[in-house]
A and B are shown apart, each in its own frame.
Chain A
Amino acid sequence: MNYLGHILVMISIYAMLGGSLNLVAGYTGLPSTCHAAFYGLGAYSTTLLMMSAGLGFFSSLGVSIVVTGLLSLVIALPALRLKGDYFVLATLGFQIIVVALFYNLTNFTGGPNGIPGIPIPRLLGFEFDSVFRYLVLSSIVSACGLFVLWLLINSPFGRLLRAVREDELAAASLGKNVPRLQTLAFAISAGMAAVPGALFAGYIRFIDPTTFTVMESIFILSIVVIGGAGSFWGPIVGAAFMVILPEALRFLELPLAAAANVRQITYGLLLVILMRFRPQGMLGEYKFE
C-alpha cells in the first residue's frame, strides 16, 4: 500500500510541475528548460522559511510562491528578449546557475549535503506523517493549484497567451504587449512550480541539489510534451505515464544484471516511438516547431 501511495504522491507532484510548465511551454509557446530550478527554489525557500523563520508549512508555501515568482524575473526579463532556440539555451543557463548556487551557498542550502530533518507539514495540529496522509495533502494542494491553472487558461488572459503563442506579431498588432504577457506567464508558472517544490520537501523531508538538475527540467518538459502541450489534462496524464512507466517496467522478469539497463532502454524507446507517432503528445493540440 505504501508503495502505491508513494507513486500517487509523486504523480500529484509531477502533475502540478507539468501543469505549471504547460502554462509557459504549452499555452505561451516558450519551451523553458529551467523549470526544475523553480521547483528547487520553491523547495529550498519553503524549507528555509520553515526551519529558520519558524513559519508553518502553508504560510511558508505561500511566501515561497511569491519569492519564486519574483526570482523568475531574473531570467525572464533577459531571456524573453531572445527567440526560439536562444530562449531555450538562456533558460538552460539559468538552470545550471541555480543548481550551482544550491551547491555553493552552503550557509543556506547545506551545499551537496543538502538539508535533512525538514519538519512534517501540519495543519491545525494534524500531522501529515504517513504516506497515505501525505497523499491526501499533496493531492488536495495539487488539485487546488491545477484548478487555479484551469481558471487562468480559460480566462481572457489564457486566450491572449494562446494568441501570442500562435502569432506574436499579430497579437502585437492588436495592441497586446507581447513581452509583458510572456513575462507574466513565466512568473506565474515559476510561482506555481514552488507548490510541488514545497510538497516534495515536506514529503521526503530531505532536499539536496541533485533533485533539481537539468535532467529534472528535461523530465518535466517531457511530461508536458508527452502528455500534450497546450492541453489542460495533457501534463496530468503525462505525469502519470512518466511516473508509472519506469515502475511498471520493474515487474518485467529480467535477469538482475541487465534489469536496470533494459528498463532504461525500454523507457527511452517508448518515448521515441510515442514522439514518432504522436508528436502533439497523448492529449495535445499544439506541436513545437
Chain B
Amino acid sequence: MSHSEDNNKENVVHSDPVLRVDDVHAGYGKSEILNGISLSIRPGEIVALIGPNGAGKSTLLKVIAGLLKPSSGGVFLRGKNVAKMAVHQRARAGIAFVIQGGAIFPSLTVRDHLQLGSLGAKRRRKQEASVLSLGVLHTVDLPNNDRSGLLSGGQRQALSVATMMATNPSVLLCDEPSAGLAPALANTLIKQIALLSRQQGLPVLWVEQRLGDVLAIADRAVLLMSGKVSSQTDQPKEWLVPEVLSQLTLGKTWERSNG
C-alpha cells in the first residue's frame, strides 16, 4: 500500500500502467470473492481475464468501476487512487464499463445514446470519440433514429459498447460483451472492439466466455482461480490448446455441478 501511495506523487511516465489493482479483497456479505488480486494494465494492452464461474472476474470489474466497494486494496487509474470515487466520478476519470448484458435506455434513440456518452467525453477528442462509436455501430448496421428499445439483443450489446466508446475512455472494461449473441455476430463484435482498441491505443480488460475468440486477440491472458491470479501469460495463444481449455471448462462444470 505504501508503495502505491508513493507512486501517486511521481510524475506519470508513459509506460506506467494505465490501470493498476493492488491487493484487492472484496465480496458480498461474508463470502469473500476476491482474495488479494493485483493486476496492472499497460497502455494499449488487451488483457483477457479468464477463469471458471465464481472465480471473481465480474466482481473484479465491478470493483474497478466502483459498483462494489472492496474491503481492502486500491484501484489506481494512471497512478491516481480512485477507490473512494463514486461510479460516475470514475466514469469521468476515464473508466468505461460495459456491463454484462449491455446497458441501454429503451426510450432513447441510438443517436441519443452516442450524444449522452460524448457529453461526458473530454472535449478535444469528442469528434474522434463519436467516429469511434460509429465504427462499432457499423458492424451491426444500427439505424440512427430508432428507439433502442426496438433493437435486437446483438444490436443492444453493440450500442452499449458504442455508447461507452463515445465517452472517450482511458480504459475499457468489458464484461462478456458477446454474451447471448449468435456466434457469427459475437465474433464480429469481439473483432470490432479489438480493432478499435488497436486504433486508439485503448487498453481493455476483457472478461469473455468465448475463450477461443478472446485469446486469439489478447496481448495477455490472466487466469483467475478462487479470487486470485492463478497464472498469466504474455502468449495467450499458447493457452489455446485443448489441455488448458478443457481445464478451464472442467472448472466451470465442476462449479455448476456443485450448485
Contacts and interface: CB of A to CB of B under 8 A. Distances in A.
B116 interface: yes
Interface string A169-193: 1111111111000000000000000
A179 to B, nearest CB: 9
B73 to A, nearest CB: 21
Interface string B41-58: 000000000000000000
Given A159-B112, A174-B116, A174-B117, A169 B87 contact: yes
A166 B87 contact: no
Contacts of B120: 174-176
Given A156-B115, A160-B116, A172 B91 contact: yes
B151 interface: no
B107 A169 contact: no
A176 B88 contact: yes
A172 B88 contact: yes
Interface string A141-181: 00000000000000010011011001101111111111000
B106 A170 contact: no
A160 B117 CA distance: 10
Given A169-B67, A173-B65, A174-B91, A162 B103 contact: no
A230 B107 contact: yes
Interface in B75-121: 86-89, 91-92, 96-97, 99, 103-108, 112, 115-117, 119-120
Size category of the B interface is: 20 to 34
Contacts of B106: 166
Contacts of B67: 169
Given A175-B88, A285-B107, A170 B115 contact: no
Contacts of B87: 169, 172-173
Interface residues of A, number: 20
B163 interface: yes
A286 B106 CA distance: 10
B88 A177 contact: yes
Contacts of A172: 86-88, 91
Contacts of B112: 159
Nearest to B148: A166
B86 A170 contact: no
Nearest to B173: A173
The 7 closest A-B pairs by CB, nearest first: A170-B103, A175-B120, A175-B91, A172-B87, A175-B92, A166-B105, A172-B88
Interface of B: 65, 67, 86-89, 91-92, 96-97, 99, 103-108, 112, 115-117, 119-120, 163-164, 167
25 contacts: A156-B115, A159-B115, A162-B105, A162-B107, A162-B108, A163-B108, A163-B116, A166-B106, A166-B108, A167-B104, A167-B105, A169-B99, A170-B103, A170-B105, A172-B91, A173-B97, A173-B103, A173-B164, A174-B88, A174-B91, A174-B120, A174-B163, A175-B89, A176-B91, A285-B107
